Each structure stands twice: as structure tokens, then as C-alpha cells.
């Protein structure tokens, strides 16, 4: 049998099998690749006697076209079979009843953190974060809190080791220290997050949320602090005017220190924020103590500024009429469905987050 006939019979048999695209590619290179049977036969032409050469070349060309044609047809055939089987297997029955989709809700605390972040970002604050597990230095010492301060007591603080070196942060204030150590003044940041204290009743939970604020620059004074907080409280409660008072207080990391109360009244058992002759404490603040600045290698004669710490859960309760703090952390889906927020429903005062 001639070489041509051998190649033809061998490959027609191969191509008639049940093949995948990869198999066809393999066959193609066996024929037409660098050392393929057809390619080699062409190379061998030269060694044939002249009289045979012409006929062999013409037969080889015919075989080449025939096999090429077979290969193309085979590829087409495989592709069509694949498409048909996909159409067969992947069809969607649009008459089937829809699946029951349970849509999640945004927790009021997350919602309020977003609102707070967007309000402060409008006046130039950026958002920082710090770890929940802190060390004693950042949580207390660097914040000018003396060794005998009651906050350091086991009754107040969850320590994680016997040496009292690691703890669950009792406030977001250590983020002030971390931020100032990480960069150079000026600083204008807020830091929302979880905080922990050994406390639990209707208005206290062992885990709760705070947002810290810190603004350090040249010539920052208490007037800036007052302006900033007034702007924030009005924006947050969506009010044009708000009654607000600064009450002298004490925090080791600020001097002078103050607590801020806002005015409210009770109408039909509901708290109405803004007016009235009752006062509600909502935050602690003050001018950052020179010792805190020295602890992070900032010269207090050159830079100064204010800080504040706001209880987020309390704000959420006031704004959205929730009266038991513990419900926040009970993960009751019915409660969340009622008090939570639709992720696609943008609240009227939402200004968009520019984190
Ligand atoms: N860290 C304080 C607390 O948890 C709140 C606070 C008060 C934060 C005054 C501040 C501040 O930054 O200046 O009670």
C-alpha cells in the first residue's frame, strides 16, 4: 500500500471516532505539525525519482486538502454537539415558582456609623480604625491615665492576661494615640468602633460602640470644638437649631474637659430632641492634654487641638426611638427586620460616604 493511502486510511479512522476538540488538535499536529506525517512527506519529495515526484506531490496535495477538510468538519460537528447539549441541559423553566428570598437589613448601629462618618467627612475628617484587643499602654498610659485610675480596675476592664498587659479596649481613645504615632500633624480624624466594659443592665452592655474624634493643628481652640460638635449634632438629628451645653468634667487625657448635654422634652412619652428644659448627656470632650501630645512626640507648644468621644448606641436609640440597648446585641431577626434599614433605601439625610 502506498504511503498516501496508509496515511489516509489511518487518519480517516482516527477522525471518525468520538472526539473532543483537544483530540482533533492532537490529530492536526500529528499531520501538519513540524514533524507531522504530511509535512514530512513533503520534505521527502526531493528524494524521489523525478518521474514519481510529480504524481506523488499532486496526490499528497489532494490528501492534504481532504484531511484538512475532514478536520474542519469534525471541529464544526463537535461545536454544534456541545451547543446543543448546553441548550438541552441549561434551559430555565420560567414557569417555576420563584424562590423565597430573605433580604437582610442594615443594623441601626451600622446605619448610624455610616451617617456619622458621612457628616464628619463633609467637614474634612477622615476615618481611622484601631484593634479591639489593645495593650495597656495605648488604652491607658499613653492617654495620661494614672496607675490608680478606677478605669484600670478589673471591675471595669476585661483584661486578657494576668499581667494586665492586654485588654479589650475600654474606649476608642487609643486610636488617637495610634493615629498620632503613625503620622505627622495636622490630624483630623474620627474613629468609630466597638468598645468593652464589664457592665450590663438596661442601659449598659459589656460591648458597645463609640466614635472618637481628634483634631490637632496649630491654633485649634475650644471654639472650634464647639462649632464642630454643634454642626454634627444638628446634622445628625436633622435640626436647624439645637440646645447644647458644655458641663465641666474630668478626663485624664483632656484639659480642660467637658461633657456635652443636649436639650430635650418629653411629648406623649416620646423624647423630642432639640428644645425643652431637660438635658441629656451625649458625649465627653476637651482639649487634648499636653502630656498626651508629649507621649506621641508632638510639641504641645506648637500643636494643640480637641478630642471627643461619643456613644453611638445612645445616638441610635435616640434618633430611631429604640428604648432597650440590649436588643441591639440579641441578634433577633424579627427585631432587625423592624428596626433595620433597607440597604437599597437611601435615607433622606444620607450624604454618601467618602471614605
Ligand atoms: N474616652 C472617654 C470615655 O470613654 C470619652 C472621651 C472623653 C473621649 C473626652 C475623648 C475625650 O476623646 O476628649 O468615657
Tens of pLDDT, residue by residue, the chain (355 residues)? 578 889 889 888 988 888 899 999 999 999 988 888 888 888 888 888 888 888 888 988 999 999 999 999 999 999 999 999 988 888 888 898 888 887 889 999 999 999 999 999 999 999 999 999 999 999 999 999 988 888 788 778 999 999 999 999 999 999 999 999 999 999 999 999 999 999 877 778 899 999 999 999 999 999 999 999 999 999 999 999 999 999 999 999 999 999 999 999 988 888 899 888 999 999 999 999 999 999 999 999 999 999 999 999 999 999 998 888 889 999 898 999 999 999 887 655 555 554 3
Ligand 1 centroid vs 213 CA: distance in angstroms?
Answer: 9
Measured from the CB, is residue 251 less than 6 Å from ligand 1? yes
Measured from the CB, is residue 307 less than 6 Å from ligand 1? yes
**C-alpha cell, 94:** 420560567
Measured from the CB, is residue 311 less than 6 Å from ligand 1? no
Q: Is the peptide bond before 86 cis (omega within 30 degrees of 0)?
A: no
Q: In ligand 1, which atom is closest to the CA atom of 213?
A: 12
**C-alpha cell, 10:** 489511518
Measured from the CB, is residue 306 less than 6 Å from ligand 1? no
What angle is formed at CA 155 by the lines to CA 152 and CA 156, rounded to 5 degrees? Answer: 55
**C-alpha cell, 29:** 499536529
Give 127-180 as a 3 state SS string. ECCCCCEEEHHHHCHHHCCCCCCHHHCCCCCCECCCCCCEEECCCCCHHHHHHH
Q: Whose CA is nearest to atom 7 of ligand 1?
A: 284
* pLDDT of the residue at 351: 56
Q: b/e per residue, 186-201, with b = 16+ CB within 10 A?
A: ebbbbbbbebbbeeee
* pLDDT of the residue at 350: 56
| Residue 211 neighbours by CB distance under 10 Å | 24
Measured from the CB, is residue 285 less than 6 Å from ligand 1? yes
Amino acid at each position: 500500500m502506498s504511503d498516501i493511502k496508509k496515511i489516509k486510511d489511518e487518519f480517516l479512522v482516527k477522525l471518525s471516532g468520538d472526539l473532543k476538540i483537544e483530540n482533533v488538535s492532537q490529530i492536526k499536529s500529528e499531520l501538519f505539525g513540524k514533524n507531522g506525517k504530511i509535512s514530512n512527506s513533503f520534505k521527502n519529495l526531493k528524494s524521489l525519482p523525478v518521474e514519481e515526484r510529480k504524481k506523488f506531490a499532486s496526490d499528497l496535495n489532494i490528501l492534504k486538502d481532504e484531511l484538512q477538510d475532514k478536520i474542519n468538519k469534525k471541529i464544526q460537528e463537535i461545536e454544534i454537539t456541545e451547543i446543543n447539549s448546553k441548550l438541552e441541559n441549561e434551559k430555565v423553566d420560567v414557569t417555576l415558582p420563584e424562590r423565597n428570598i430573605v433580604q437582610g437589613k442594615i443594623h441601626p448601629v451600622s446605619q448610624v456609623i455610616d451617617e456619622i462618618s458621612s457628616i464628619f467627612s463633609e467637614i474634612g475628617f477622615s476615618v481611622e480604625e484601631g484593634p479591639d484587643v489593645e495593650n495597656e499602654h495605648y488604652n491607658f498610659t499613653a492617654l495620661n491615665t494614672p496607675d490608680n485610675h478606677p478605669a484600670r480596675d478589673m471591675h471595669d476592664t476585661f483584661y486578657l492576661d494576668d499581667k494586665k498587659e492586654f485588654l479589650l479596649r475600654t474606649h476608642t481613645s487609643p486610636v488617637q494615640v495610634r493615629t498620632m504615632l503613625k503620622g505627622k500633624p495636622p490630624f483630623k480624624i474620627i474613629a468609630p468602633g466597638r468598645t468593652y466594659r464589664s457592665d450590663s443592665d438596661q442601659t449598659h452592655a459589656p460591648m458597645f460602640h463609640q466614635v472618637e474624634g481628634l483634631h490637632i493643628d496649630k491654633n485649634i481652640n475650644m471654639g472650634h470644638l464647639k462649632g464642630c460638635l454643634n454642626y454634627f449634632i444638628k446634622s445628625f438629628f436633622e435640626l436647624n437649631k439645637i440646645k447644647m451645653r458644655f458641663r465641666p468634667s474630668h478626663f485624664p487625657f483632656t484639659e480642660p474637659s467637658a461633657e456635652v448635654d443636649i436639650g430635650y422634652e418629653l411629648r406623649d412619652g416620646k423624647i423630642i430632641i432639640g428644645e425643652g428644659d431637660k438635658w441629656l448627656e451625649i458625649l465627653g470632650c476637651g482639649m487634648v492634654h499636653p502630656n498626651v501630645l508629649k507621649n506621641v512626640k508632638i510639641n504641645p507648644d506648637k500643636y494643640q487641638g480637641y478630642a471627643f468621644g461619643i456613644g453611638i448606641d445612645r445616638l441610635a436609640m435616640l434618633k430611631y426611638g429604640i428604648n432597650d440597648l440590649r436588643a441591639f446585641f440579641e441578634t433577633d431577626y424579627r427585631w432587625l427586620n423592624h428596626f433595620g434599614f433597607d440597604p437599597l433605601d437611601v435615607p433622606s439625610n444620607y450624604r454618601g460616604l467618602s471614605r
